[in-house]
Amino acid sequence: MHLTRADIQAEERIKRLNIINSISGIKPANLVGTIDGKGQTNLAIFSSAFHLGSNPALVGMILRPDHEVRRHTWENIKETGYYTLNHVHESFIQQAHYTSAKFEKEESEFAGVGLTEQYVEGFVAPLVAESKVKMGLKFEQSVPIEMNGTIMIIGSVEHLLIPDDAVDERGHLDLSQLGGVGISGLNSYYKLEKMAKFPYARKSELPDFS
């Protein structure tokens, strides 16, 4: 199947949405935890988080400020300046997925889907107790993407919580062991199975590919 720009544009809306949401490849499954100034918590699933830098430790995320559900996340981040990112695992993918239902602002998705708020002293935003890899982020910057009205949000890592035995001595995280998952498109969940680790690629140590 070869689709040109015009073919893509001519596709039925939902089909286009599904195809285009899949073509960049597997996406990480994270829950973003926030709180407003009155103490009302919010939890939302995001597949758009990405690594932005390790020194300082920065995580990026794309969001649509006008999205009827994700809007609360953005409002809370602006209000308090902090948010959390929590890995989704196999054990609670359905709960994580349903945080995307349209809860009212007065209802917390934590209670709505049965996940547990966890707090770190001195940090306002709620973590997800069920998640094994989670971090508290400080909102640093938003970058408007004028082409389509989305924004990129940049956060720096204030707190990082990981099980001791999930990280090896060089700092590699084993996502299979953690029951990590990925998302394709809007609603397909994939299990991760570690298959290979290669050394830093040196030209002088190139395998024979002929």
- What residues from 114 to 173 belong to the interface with a second copy (CB under 8 A)? 114, 120, 133, 135, 140-141, 143, 145, 147-148, 150, 152, 154, 156-164, 167, 169-173
Task: Please state the closest distance from residue 112 (CB atom) to a second copy, in A.
Answer: 7
Q: Do the beta carbons of residue 26 and residue 184 sit within 8 Å?
A: yes
What binding mask, one character per residue, do residues 21-40 give for a second copy by CB under 8 A, x or -?
xxxxxxxxxx----------
Task: Please state the closest distance from residue 117 (CB atom) to a second copy, in A.
Answer: 15
Find where tokens 């919010």 sit.
42
Alpha helices in 52-122 (DSSP H): 71-80, 93-97, 109-113
Q: Which is nearer to a second copy, 37 or 46 (CB)?
A: 46
User: End-to-end CA distance of the chain, in Å?
Assistant: 30
Q: Which is nearer to a second copy, 37 or 122 (CB)?
A: 122
Q: Which is nearer to a second copy, 20 or 105 (CB)?
A: 20
Is residue 206 a contact residue for a second copy (CB under 8 A)? yes
Q: Which is nearer to a second copy, 37 or 68 (CB)?
A: 68
Of 33-41, 56-64, 71-79, the window that binds a second copy (rule: CB under 8 A) is 56-64
Could you tell me the two tokens for 23?
């073509």
Task: Please state the closest distance from residue 81 (CB atom) to a second copy, in A.
Answer: 14
Rounded CA Rg of the chain:
19
Distance between CA 63 and CA 46 in Å, rounded? 9
| Choice from 53, 66, 91, 116 touching a second copy (CB under 8 A) | 53
Q: Do the beta carbons of residue 130 and residue 91 sit within 8 Å?
A: yes
Q: Which is nearer to a second copy, 37 or 193 (CB)?
A: 193
What's the number of CA atoms in the CB half-sphere (13 Å) around residue 16?
11
With CB under 8 A as the rule, give the number of residues binding a second copy. Answer: 114
What is the torsional sign of CA 156, 158, 161, 164?
positive
